[in-house]
Chain A
Amino acid sequence: MPRAIAMVALGLVPASAHAHLVNTGLGPFYDGVSHFALTPEDILPALALALLAGMRGANAGRLTLFALPAAWFAGGLVGLALPTTSMTAALTATTVSFLVLGSLVAADARLRLKWIGGLAVAFGLVHGYFNGSAMAEARLGGLALVGIVLALCVTTTLAAALVVALRARWALIAVRVAGSWLAATGLLLVGWSLRAS
Chain B
Amino acid sequence: MNFSRATARDYALHWRFILAFATLLAPTLAAAHVEAGRADGLLAGLHHPVSGLDHVLAMVSVGLWGAELGAPAIWLLPVTFPIAMAFGGMLGLIGVPLPGVEIGIALSAVALGVAVLTAWRPPLWIAAVIVGVFAIFHGHAHGTELPAGTSGLLYSIGFVVATGLLHATGIGIGTIHRWDWGKAMLRAAGAGVATSGAYFLWQALA
Contact = CB atoms under 8 A, between A and B. Distances in A.
Interface of A: 3-4, 7-8, 10-22, 38, 40-41, 44, 94, 106, 173, 176-177, 180-181, 183-192, 194-196
A19 B102 CA distance: 42
Interface stretch (B54-62, B88-96, B123-131, B196-204): B88-96
> Which 8 pairs show the lowest CB-CB distances between chains A and B?
A191-B93, A11-B23, A14-B30, A191-B90, A192-B152, A184-B86, A187-B86, A188-B156
B160 A191 contact: no
B86 A185 contact: yes
A177 B23 contact: no
Contacts of A184: 82-83, 85-86, 156, 160
A20 B153 contact: no
Interface in B87-115: 87, 89-95
B134 interface: no
* Interface size class, chain B: 35 or more
Interface stretch (B1-9, B31-39, B176-184, B185-193): B31-39
Contacts of A190: 90
Given A184-B85, A187-B86, A188-B155, 6 more contacts: A8-B23, A183-B86, A188-B160, A194-B94, A195-B94, A195-B95
A188 B86 contact: yes
B39 to A, nearest CB: 11
24 contacts: A10-B23, A12-B23, A12-B26, A14-B30, A15-B31, A17-B32, A18-B31, A20-B31, A177-B78, A180-B83, A181-B82, A184-B85, A184-B86, A185-B156, A185-B160, A186-B86, A188-B93, A188-B143, A188-B160, A189-B152, A192-B153, A192-B156, A194-B90, A195-B95
Interface in B18-56: 19-20, 22-24, 26, 28-35
A44 B143 CA distance: 22
Given A184-B85, A184-B160, A188-B89, A177 B28 contact: no
A185 B34 contact: no
Contact of A106 (B20, B31, B79): B79
> Which of B16, B26, B83, B161 gathers most chain A CB within 10 Å?
B83
Contacts, number: 116
A40 B154 contact: yes
Given A177-B75, A185-B86, A17 B161 contact: no
Interface in B117-160: 143, 152-157, 159-160
Contacts of A181: 82, 160-161, 164
B156 A189 contact: yes
Given A7-B19, A184-B82, A20 B33 contact: yes
B90 A187 contact: yes
Contacts of A3: 16
B153 A189 contact: yes
